[in-house]
Amino acid sequence: MTEFTGAHPRTVALEVLLEVERGRRLDLAWEARAPTLAAADRGWVQELVYGVVRFRGRLDHLLGLHLHKGTGSLHPRILILLRMGVWQILAMGSVPTYAAVSETVEQVRRTPKNAGGGKGAAGLANAVLRRLAEAGGGQERFPSLAGDPVAHLTLWGSHPAWLVERWIARYGTENTAALVEANNRIPRVHLRRLDTGATVELEPGSDVGEALRRFHPAQVQDPAASAVVDVMARGLEAAGLASAPRVADLCAAPGGKGLALAGLSTLRARVVGVDPSLARLRRMAENLHRLGQEGGLGQDDRVHLVVARGEAPPFVPGSLDAALVDAPCTGTGTLSRHPDARWRLDPGAPDRLARVQSAILDGAAGIVRTGGILVYSTCTLEPEENEAQVEEFLRRHPAFRLEETMQVLPQQTGTDGSFATLFRKENDGS
């Protein structure tokens, strides 16, 4: 049984999950709360909160089998506590069933009545968790993939039905099942060495801070994101712009791709990072400062940061060698790393974000000089934001020619997903 050295790990887990329920990103909620825990407890709490979010659909189905009025009858706080209890029972071997049940029941008992708690709610929690622990949580309690693929991948696979349906229509059932499985794996951590562009995969449980110091200058970056940087580096070289090119990163923060591009010793690109959020640029500046230590990136003033919107970039038209639009997107290629994103999205999200992306691409097109390049990238799998976006851009901007398209699919690579296109500007469009 896990022995906790800090105060109230389950309380911290509940606080993180409540913030996520209110709409805050899981990674940000976790980063804010993790320092309040003893170091020895952080791994346990992180496993709990990420497991509950990732498998919310599966947990709710199992709970619903033992609740006469369904999960919708519960106050959100009580539902989260029950999810926590079920995840501890079914997936966290460090917690005996009796402890998972008793601790959850006590948390429900201590919850104020106006939040659904109290003695009666505690009795319900006790009965539901004990029955569920006895019945188990295996696939036999779910619709089968062969009999009802949408229900299976929605409930057992723990993904929204609308997303499962659109993926089945595009990829087929077998490929979608592989994608859902990939999204439900705990992602590996990779570093990109900024001077060489080499990728290093860390062993599970590695100390990331120590690894960053060992491979300095380096940053955490999934291979799918690194592949986008490599597309741009190849494009600059092919265009004869591989000697200190002037590059605008129009969706810069938190800075991974722009800093990776500037860090390549073969390019020595001069990057201006543009983002509308001052707070996000400050985080990028902190990362840049870290990378600038000990003779690394930043010592020769290769990166500048500007608060501005990508739709209206603050540059003279035709003045830059290249632009990178790493666009805001639905992020459906990163649901393993960001499991909460699957629950925040809705069916209208791809179209809404496609309009934002189009506006930023139009802004980027105007600042690239003749002979220069533009790279458009996303971490989504949705065609409205990828292939259709490219087609529309070429229709609006005939001065550009499509030179390369790259797509990484999580079910094929075991990494994040990404999409990138490389355009070259052939004339001034006049």
- Residue in this structure with the two tokens 């229900």, named with its chain if needed: 151
Q: Which CATH architecture group holds 190-425?
A: 3-Layer(aba) Sandwich (3.40)
For the chain, residues classed under CATH 1.10.940.10 are 9-141
Strand, coil or helix: what is 418? strand
Active site residue 251: no
- Cβ within 8 Å of residue 142, ≥6 positions away: 58, 61, 151, 152, 155, 156
pLDDT of the residue at 11: 96
Cα(220)–Cα(143) distance, integer angstroms: 38
For the chain, residues classed under CATH 3.40.50.150 are 190-425
pLDDT of the residue at 302: 85
Between strands 199-201 and 218-220, the pairing is unpaired
From the candidate CATH numbers 1.10.287.130, 3.40.50.720, 1.10.940.10, 3.40.1790.10, the one assigned to the domain spanning 9-141: 1.10.940.10
Q: Which is the catalytic residue, given 367, 379, 409, 420?
A: 379
Q: What is the pLDDT along the chain (430 residues), one digit of tens a residue?
A: 444 444 489 999 999 999 999 999 999 999 999 999 999 999 999 999 999 999 999 999 999 999 999 999 999 999 999 999 999 999 999 899 999 999 999 999 999 999 999 999 999 999 999 999 999 999 999 999 999 999 999 999 999 999 999 999 999 999 999 999 999 999 999 999 998 999 999 999 899 999 999 998 899 999 999 999 999 999 999 999 999 999 999 999 887 899 999 989 888 899 999 999 999 899 888 888 887 744 345 545 789 999 999 999 999 999 999 999 999 999 999 999 999 999 999 999 999 999 999 999 999 999 999 999 999 999 999 999 999 999 999 999 999 999 999 999 999 999 999 999 999 999 876 4
Distances, alpha carbon 347 to alpha carbons 162, 343, 384, 390, in Å: 7, 11, 12, 21
Spatial contact of 104 and 125, defined as CB atoms under 8 Å apart: yes
pLDDT of the residue at 340: 98
pLDDT of the residue at 58: 98
Instruction: Please report, as a single letter, which amino acid is at residue 1.
Output: M
Cα(252)–Cα(297) distance, integer angstroms: 16
Q: Model-level pTM?
A: 0.93
Half-sphere exposure of 224 (CA within 13 A, CB side): 28
Token pair for 126? 């006790």
Cα(392)–Cα(403) distance, integer angstroms: 16
pLDDT of the residue at 413: 96
pLDDT of the residue at 289: 82
Question: Cis omega (within 30 of 0) on the bond before 276?
Answer: no
pLDDT of the residue at 394: 98
Sheet-wide strand order for 199-201 = 199-201, 190-193, 218-220
Between strands 218-220 and 190-193, the pairing is antiparallel
Token pair for 185? 């794996």
